[in-house]
Structure 1
Amino acid sequence: MKDFIEYFIDYITIEKDASPRTIHKYRADLTRFQDYLKINLGLPGLNNIKLGHIRSYLYHLKESYSYRSSSLANKINIIKHFF
């Protein structure tokens, strides 16, 4: 999945002319998502990711870090753009 994240970062950098701040945010959030999938759910790649896995991750963020709805919406948006 890490390679796909870097391909995606290259895409938003070149094609979408994303700002350095946006690139940093996307990379950090997607890497955190990847780590959660690998450590907590045992999912090494993209092929097995289902909607329930994404919901589990968002629930984890809300419960563990007390993110507000607007912060979770930003994270959802990043994941949607990635897929």
Structure 2
Amino acid sequence: MANIKSAKKRIRTNEDARLLNAPVKTEMRTMIKRVEKLVNENNVEDAKVALNVAIKKIDKAVQKGIVHKNNGSRQKSRLVRKVNQLGA
């Protein structure tokens, strides 16, 4: 346990940030899984709609600093590639 006052404050601050960031990250992961599920079911139209939602969630998480820019770009790229392969 932290003894220094600034360390105690840092613990509180980190916990507050974690509570705010967790739902954003969870929602992002949920949307990614939804796209992957639709791709596995060969549902092209719904997968494209879900892809747009997932991209928005990923971009918002990157904007808030919850995930790194390169991580977000990689996830978007992989999802787009899966949906495009499905349509081809």
TM norm. shorter chain > 0.5: no
More helix by share: 2
Which structure would you say has the larger Rg? Answer: 2
Q: TM-score, normalised by structure 1?
A: 0.36
Q: TM-score, normalised by structure 2?
A: 0.34
